[in-house]
Chains A and B, each alone.
Chain A
């Protein structure tokens, strides 16, 4: 047995440190922004590195797809229907004043397919999926569940992050298709409130006005939205700070950044699409 007698002397480590003065706070917030961006980039790179490595956790992907798809389905459908209806009702007076009422189905359908469907769906999912995934992963981090996975030789990144990102990337385009369909039905109702148009005629006009160039970018955009929402939410949750306060913060930031990301991606998508028009 050995006694470390030197340590008998009370060497109290003074850890009540004076914080840095606030003169550098602007600089440090810029620095922390870039740090955050670089960490997120690393996170995305890691996602792609782990994507093609076994094990593939198919069971978990299916479970998460169901969670993400089902959790947002009703909200997306109801909002989509109302958006279609309202858009039609509000566009009508303007079109009438130009004498272009007959263009109503065409105009509404193009705006739904190209913009409103994907963006509204993505925003709803950013709220619903983002806060859910952000809070779930953060609370797993706080209660050491992620550490527990790691020490039992399970790759938590693969099991938690990769599965959720794949699920979200696949499910959100699907939700967009539902939203578009329901939205067009809402629009049909909106048109019929004031005038009389048959179901066939309405959808004939709709399909006559929609081109491949309208549908494809919207669909691709939806994939990116799905990917972005999940990766940002997972990032916030996975690296959340400790303590229960970290959970609230993670879910909050997940929603804020995911929503912001949707508009930025949308803007980029619009620019790119314009190049091909």
Chain B
């Protein structure tokens, strides 16, 4: 990714790895979000605000509703109560076309990867890209695909089918497939789970690089302490369907709460 022409505005310079972000534009606003599955109250009252160019890491035990939260944000799951605003639009009030338009600006990395089985790695990346660019220019698409695969170190596997890839490789292809669309908002569901420490670190650095280069705002779900340290501007701890704690990595680390520290060890 060499071209810097796509960077909107001058926000990039305000970012500094950890720490606060100075742009105050809110890109995602979640207010009083509630979601219940049968008798299982997963989310009770979630308030979350994501600023432009900011990385928020969401921590929480397995099954605490982290995936449900980001699925509610893209409206893959309909919340029972509460409001979700994306880029100042209440997504509940949008019709299908408008929702699709907003979704075009969001990248979503699935916990399971969710690669299209029937398509090769190349086709997986081209699939949404062609529709987004509305072009058939083979060279341009091909260049972007190669670039994205190089970023995740999988250029040699470009013509393989997803079934021929390892779990970690699938995850990386999936990441490339999401990033190739240059989304304004990224939602990562456990981007480094199942990867070795070395690749994990590379992925975290890639996340950071993308954030700086394209001023993307991200919500990152992860259990990986290094990843929290590297990528987070702010950490959001989820417990019993509510926000248990919120602050920078350092804030939380120095809070002295042993439950939180067990995540940040």
Contacts and interface: CB of A to CB of B under 8 A. Distances in A.
B108 A148 contact: yes
A13 B35 CA distance: 13
A154 B244 CA distance: 36
Interface string B73-94: 0101000000000000000000
Interface size classification for chain A: 20 to 34
A7 B244 CA distance: 7
- Interface SS of B by simple majority: mixed
Contacts, number: 85
Interface stretch (B190-198, B210-218, B220-228, B245-253): B245-253
B131 A154 contact: yes
Given A1-B251, A143-B112, A13 B74 contact: no
Interface size classification for chain B: 35 or more
Interface stretch (B3-11, B25-33, B99-107, B140-148): B99-107
B103 A151 contact: yes
A15 interface: yes
B175 to A, nearest CB: 12
A144 B111 CA distance: 9
Contact of A7 (B40, B76, B239, B252): B239
A13 B244 contact: no
A196 interface: no
A140 B117 contact: yes
A1 B117 contact: no
Interface string B248-265: 100110010100000000
B184 to A, nearest CB: 13
A22 interface: no
Interface in B98-144: 100-101, 103-104, 106, 108, 110, 112, 114-118, 127-128, 131-132
Nearest to A146: B114
B145 to A, nearest CB: 15
Nearest to B74: A151
A184 B172 CA distance: 56
A24 interface: no
Contacts of B181: 152
A17 interface: yes
Interface in A1-24: 1-4, 7, 11, 13-15, 17
Contacts of A2: 243, 245-247
Contact of B128 (A17, A139, A143, A154): A154
Given A148-B108, A151-B108, A153-B128, A4 B242 contact: yes
A3 B242 CA distance: 11
Interface string A116-154: 000000000000000000001001100111011011111
A144 B257 CA distance: 36
A147 B178 CA distance: 13
A196 to B, nearest CB: 52
A148 B245 contact: no
A277 B247 CA distance: 80
Nearest to A139: B117
B240 interface: yes
Nearest to A142: B112
Contacts of B117: 139-140, 143, 145
User: Nearest 5 pairs between A and B by C-beta?
Assistant: A1-B247, A153-B104, A144-B114, A148-B114, A152-B128
15 contacts: A1-B248, A2-B243, A4-B242, A4-B244, A13-B41, A17-B39, A55-B131, A143-B112, A143-B114, A147-B71, A147-B114, A150-B76, A151-B103, A151-B106, A152-B104
Given A1-B252, A17-B39, 20 more contacts: A1-B246, A1-B251, A2-B247, A3-B255, A4-B244, A7-B239, A7-B240, A15-B39, A15-B41, A17-B38, A139-B117, A140-B117, A143-B114, A143-B117, A145-B117, A147-B71, A148-B108, A151-B106, A153-B101, A155-B100
